[in-house]
Amino acid sequence: MQILLTGGAGYIGSHTIIELDKAGHTVVVVDNLCNSKEEALRRVEKIIGKPVPFVRADVRDREAMDHIFKTYTIDAVIHFAGLKAVGESCEKPLEYYENNMNATFVLLDVMRRNGCKNIIFSSSATVYGDPAQIPITEECPKGHCTNPYGQTKSMLEEVLKDVQKADPEWNVVLLRYFNPIGAHKSGLIGENPNGIPNNLMPYITQTAIGIRKELGVFGNDYDTPDGTGVRDYIHVCDLAAGHVAALKAIEKKCGLAIYNLGTGHGYSVLDVVNAFERENGLKVPYSIKPRRPGDIATCYCNPAKAKAELGWQAQYEIGDMCRDSWNFQKNNPKGYEE
């Protein structure tokens, strides 16, 4: 199939191009580069040994999007494009709602006008809020999202469900990602956050390389085995492969389908620090800080549905994730800037 990746120059999108290529699909990327660098695509080209067609445009730009659909025969869209920083979304709610909602509205309208009704949407474990049960299954009710970023994911899931309900020709796959970390084993592409990282793994790698003095561990008084927050970390290459599996569901005309993409294992902050130190033979200085507002104690999934229906299962262990995250950081001390 020919797949349009919105936001395909970003962290998850760039890794997904490689898995799509391996599976014999062709790609087109549209990205406005508001949170990524074109260099990521150059590096993907190096890895797959072929050019990656790229259109620098905003998904909210209807004419540019229409032009893409008129130029290429797009069989399905993987919609990664969106703003994703939780803290920033609380400071700039309008910008987040405007970008994430309008980009999706324009995309869906341009898709249907051009007869493409197959979409995979990047959703998030954040839609479960403080989860009703652990491990989280897809049947768990969506919860109250404490920030505008999470709200856009939750609202867009509803929009996509309604679109599919009104016109059953649509095939819509909602993928709820747990915590992607790691990088392609080449060390050429990886996570390249702007400014001070919000997420755990980039903070660890930047501490290990000396950009940050120490990691702050946000709370050690949660109801978890060691008191620190527990999450379901998944290797970004496993996550990327999950999109290829989801395309098979689209080919089988799945209608609406929802999957958790995680490993099903929970690791605490200190488990991750220990695994990182052990795997890479490094020390990560840390100190315990107060809890981060909005955080929950434990979040990990039951990934059985994706295994049963898509034949997809995560392959990588926490040690692989720590090794590959560090490999990217040490090869690219300043991200894509050098």
Q: Which residues bind ligand UD1 (CB under 6 A)?
A: 86, 124-126, 150, 179, 198-200, 203, 215-218, 229, 231, 269, 292, 294-295
Residue 157 sits in the site that holds ligand NAD (CB under 6 A): no
Candidate residues 80, 96, 276, 326; the one interacting with ligand NAD per rule CB under 6 A: 80
Catalytic one among 149, 259, 267, 300?
Answer: 149
Q: Choose among 198, 195, 183: nearest CA to 326.
A: 183
Residue 148 sits in the site that holds ligand NAD (CB under 6 A): no
Q: With contact defined as beta carbons under 8 Å apart, do 25 and 243 qualify? A: no
Residue 298 sits in the site that holds ligand NAD (CB under 6 A): no
Interface region with ligand NAD, contact rule CB under 6 A, candidates 4-12, 159-167, 273-281, 330-338 = 4-12
β-pairing verdict for 118-124 and 171-177: parallel
Q: Which of ligand UD1, ligand NAD, none binds 269 (CB below 5-8 Å, type-dependent)?
A: ligand UD1
Give the nearest distance from C-beta 168 to ligand NAD in angstroms.
25
DSSP 44-84: HHHHHTS---EEE--TT-HHHHHHHHHHS--SEEEE--S--
Q: Which of ligand NAD, ligand UD1, none binds 31 (CB below 5-8 Å, type-dependent)?
A: ligand NAD
Whether a cis peptide bond, with omega within 30° of 0, leads into 193 is no
Give the nearest distance from C-beta 84 to ligand UD1 in angstroms.
7
Q: Which of ligand NAD, ligand UD1, none binds 294 (CB below 5-8 Å, type-dependent)?
A: ligand UD1
Q: With contact defined as beta carbons under 8 Å apart, do 295 and 224 qualify? A: no
Q: Which of ligand NAD, ligand UD1, none binds 81 (CB below 5-8 Å, type-dependent)?
A: ligand NAD
Q: Which of ligand UD1, ligand NAD, none binds 318 (CB below 5-8 Å, type-dependent)?
A: none
Say how far apart CA 252 and CA 261 lie, in whole Å.
20
Say how far apart CA 210 and CA 214 lie, in whole Å.
9
Within 10 Å of residue 76's Cβ, how many Cβ atoms? 22
Quick one: 329 exposed, middle or buried, by C-beta within 10 A (0-12, 13-18, 19+)?
buried
Give the nearest distance from C-beta 20 to ligand UD1 in angstroms.
22
Q: Which of ligand UD1, ligand NAD, none binds 33 (CB below 5-8 Å, type-dependent)?
A: ligand NAD
Site string for ligand NAD, 115-144 (x = CB under 6 A): -------x-x--------------------
Is residue 149 part of the annotated active site? The answer reads yes
Residue 235 sits in the site that holds ligand NAD (CB under 6 A): no
Say how far apart CA 278 and CA 91 lie, in whole Å.
37
Q: Which amino acid is at 269?
A: V
Q: Which amino acid is at 76?
A: A
- The sign one gets for the Cα dihedral 5, 6, 10, 12 is negative
Candidate residues 3, 4, 10, 279; the one interacting with ligand NAD per rule CB under 6 A: 10
Say how far apart CA 331 and CA 209 lie, in whole Å.
11
Interface region with ligand NAD, contact rule CB under 6 A, candidates 52-60, 68-76, 224-232, 274-282 = 52-60
Residue 68 sits in the site that holds ligand NAD (CB under 6 A): no
Say how far apart CA 223 and CA 230 lie, in whole Å.
10
Give the nearest distance from C-beta 323 to ligand UD1 in angstroms.
18
167 sits in the region (left: phi over 0; alpha: psi -120 to 50; else beta) called: beta
- Strand pairing partners for 289? 218
Give the nearest distance from C-beta 199 to ligand NAD in angstroms.
6
**Binding residues for ligand NAD (CB under 6 A):** 7, 9-13, 31-36, 58-60, 80-84, 99, 103, 122, 124, 177, 180
Residues taking part in catalysis: 149
